[in-house]
């Protein structure tokens, strides 16, 4: 009975001979009768499309190097220069504020009053040396026998920098503008008003030039100049008025 059981098991498994001439794959599923179903299908692996990278991670084309801009060309004609100060975006020191305070007077004036930039009151009123500071300046000019109408009144920058301070980049453009402006203005003498313009024009601190006649070299010609504190500073610190008078009275020599 045990032998018959083994024989029945092998028969059910499909084994009908101990040894055959050809190998038989007894566990292979026979093909279907449908020829199309029997034909193996070609499997094509399609990779899913990936979402695009964010713009910040995408390859960027190298930007073309911009050609360096040359220095701003300043007009050589007096009338063109005055119009340029009023309207051009290339004017050094015009980028700090929309309100420009422009020079008043004509070239060749006997005295040029020059400060670094307008004060807050000047920008509000649209006139240099306005308010109480302007009245003090008029009194100072009267002490040397002059009026504001005799002078060419200008600031180096036509607007005021934030905090009344100028960085190194802006100072370089203003330095070029300073000497060009003086060359076109051709004043008989020069009154530097305020510590900033004294530092830029004379390369010295205001206390160091008290009572001294400065020799400003303008295209090889000598331009007599003296320096005083800004009238607004003199109002805040009246003790400095004596130093201003020590410098102003130098203009009375030879009169």
Are 191 and 115 within 8 A, CB to CB?
no
Residue 237 lies in a domain: yes
Which residues span the domain enclosing 189? 78-252
Lowest mean pLDDT across 65-69, 102-106, 184-188, 198-202: 65-69
Does 155 score more than 80 pLDDT?
yes
Residue 54: the pLDDT is 72
Q: Taken in order 176, 178, 179, 184, is the CA torsion positive or negative?
A: positive
pLDDT digits (tens, 9 = 90+) for 186-225: 999 999 999 999 999 999 999 999 999 998 877 767 889 9
Pick from 230, 225, 196: which is nearest to 212 by CA?
225
Query: What CA–CA distance (Å, rounded) separates 112 from 223?
Result: 11
Structurally, the chain folds into a number of domains equal to: 1
pTM over 0.75: no
Q: Taken in order 230, 233, 234, 240, is the CA torsion positive or negative?
A: negative
pLDDT digits (tens, 9 = 90+) for 113-150: 999 999 999 999 999 999 999 999 999 999 999 999 99
Residue 60 lies in a domain: no
- For 164, the 3-state DSSP assignment is helix
Query: What CA–CA distance (Å, rounded) separates 120 from 160?
Result: 8
Q: Taken in order 85, 90, 95, 97, is the CA torsion positive or negative?
A: positive
Residue 34 lies in a domain: no
Confidence at 72, pLDDT banded by 50, 70, 90: confident
Residue 83 lies in a domain: yes
Q: Supply the mean pLDDT for the chain.
A: 85
CATH of the domain at 107: 3.40.470.10
Residue 197 lies in a domain: yes
Provide the 8-state DSSP code for 61: P
Query: What CA–CA distance (Å, rounded) separates 20 from 22?
Result: 6
Q: Find the helix packing angle between 168-185 and 78-87, rounded to 10°.
A: 150
Residue 30 lies in a domain: no
Q: What is the mean pLDDT of residues 69-89?
A: 91
Are 156 and 116 within 8 A, CB to CB?
yes
């Amino acid at each position: 009975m045990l032998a018959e059981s083994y024989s029945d098991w092998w028969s059910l498994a499909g084994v009908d001979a101990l040894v055959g001439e050809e190998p038989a794959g007894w566990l292979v599923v026979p093909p279907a009768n449908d020829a199309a179903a029997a034909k193996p299908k070609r499997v094509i692996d399609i990779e899913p499309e990936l979402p695009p990278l964010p713009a910040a991670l995408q390859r960027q084309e190298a930007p073309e190097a911009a050609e360096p801009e040359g220095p701003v060309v300043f007009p050589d004609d007096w009338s063109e220069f005055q119009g340029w100060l009023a309207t051009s975006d290339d004017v050094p020191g015009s980028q700090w504020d929309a309100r420009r305070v422009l020079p008043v007077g004509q070239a060749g004036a006997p005295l040029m009053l020059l400060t670094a930039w307008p004060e807050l009151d000047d920008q509000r009123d649209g006139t240099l040396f306005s308010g109480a500071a302007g009245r003090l300046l008029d009194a100072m000019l009267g002490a040397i026998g002059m009026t504001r109408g005799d002078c060419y009144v200008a600031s180096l920058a036509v607007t005021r920098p934030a905090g009344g301070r100028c960085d190194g980049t802006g100072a370089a453009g203003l330095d070029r503008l300073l000497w060009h402006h003086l060359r076109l203005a051709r004043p008989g003498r020069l009154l530097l008003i305020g510590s900033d313009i004294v530092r830029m024009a004379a390369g010295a601190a205001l206390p160091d030039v008290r009572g001294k006649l400065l020799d400003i070299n303008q295209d090889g010609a000598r331009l007599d100049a003296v320096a005083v504190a800004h009238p607004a500073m003199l109002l805040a610190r009246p003790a400095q008025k004596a130093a201003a008078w020590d410098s102003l009275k130098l203009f009375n020599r030879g009169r």
